[in-house]
């Protein structure tokens, strides 16, 4: 985390795993210096908790937008406990995310 605070979330989309559909979330900030490693087969999202936030990513491959997918942020089947105090501001992409039942999953 370069600046600010986020609530960072990973959701297991590997159907063959006992953790399929489960999520983990942690606060990452410039003060706590934590990182979250998200392995292949997981969805990733975050909520900005501070006025602004600069988020840095390390990736295993080059970014390829044609392979990007979007899971709806509030999928009831997943039940992420987002630390919200008001309705979130969502990008157009995030507004059109797929339900968990419609999402592409992995073996």
Q: Tell me the pTM.
A: 0.93
CATH class of the structural domain 1-107: mainly beta
Q: Between 1 and 2, where is the model more confident?
A: 2
Q: How is the chain split into domains, by residue range?
A: 1-107
- 46-66 per-position pLDDT tens digit: 999 999 999 998 888 898 999
Alpha-carbon distances of 29 from 6, 19, 26, 35, 78, rounded to whole Å? 6, 26, 10, 9, 24
Whether residue 2 is predicted with pLDDT greater than 90 in this model: the reply is: no
The Cα 11–Cα 91 span in angstroms is: 20
- Tell whether the model's pLDDT for residue 15 goes beyond 90: yes
pLDDT score for 57: 87
pLDDT band (50, 70, 90) for residue 17: very high
The answer to whether residues 88 and 73 touch, using CB atoms and an 8 Å cutoff, is yes
């Amino acid at each position: 985390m370069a600046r600010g605070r986020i609530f960072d979330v990973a959701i297991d989309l590997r159907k063959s795993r006992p953790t399929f559909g489960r999520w983990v979330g942690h606060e990452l900030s410039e003060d706590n210096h934590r990182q979250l490693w998200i392995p292949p087969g997981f969805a990733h999202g975050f909520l900005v908790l501070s006025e602004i936030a600069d988020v840095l990513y390390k990736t295993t491959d080059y970014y390829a937008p044609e392979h990007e997918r979007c899971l709806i942020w509030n999928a009831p089947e997943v039940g992420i406990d987002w630390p919200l105090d008001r309705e979130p501001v969502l990008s157009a992409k995030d507004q059109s995310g797929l339900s968990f039942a419609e999402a592409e999953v992995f073996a």
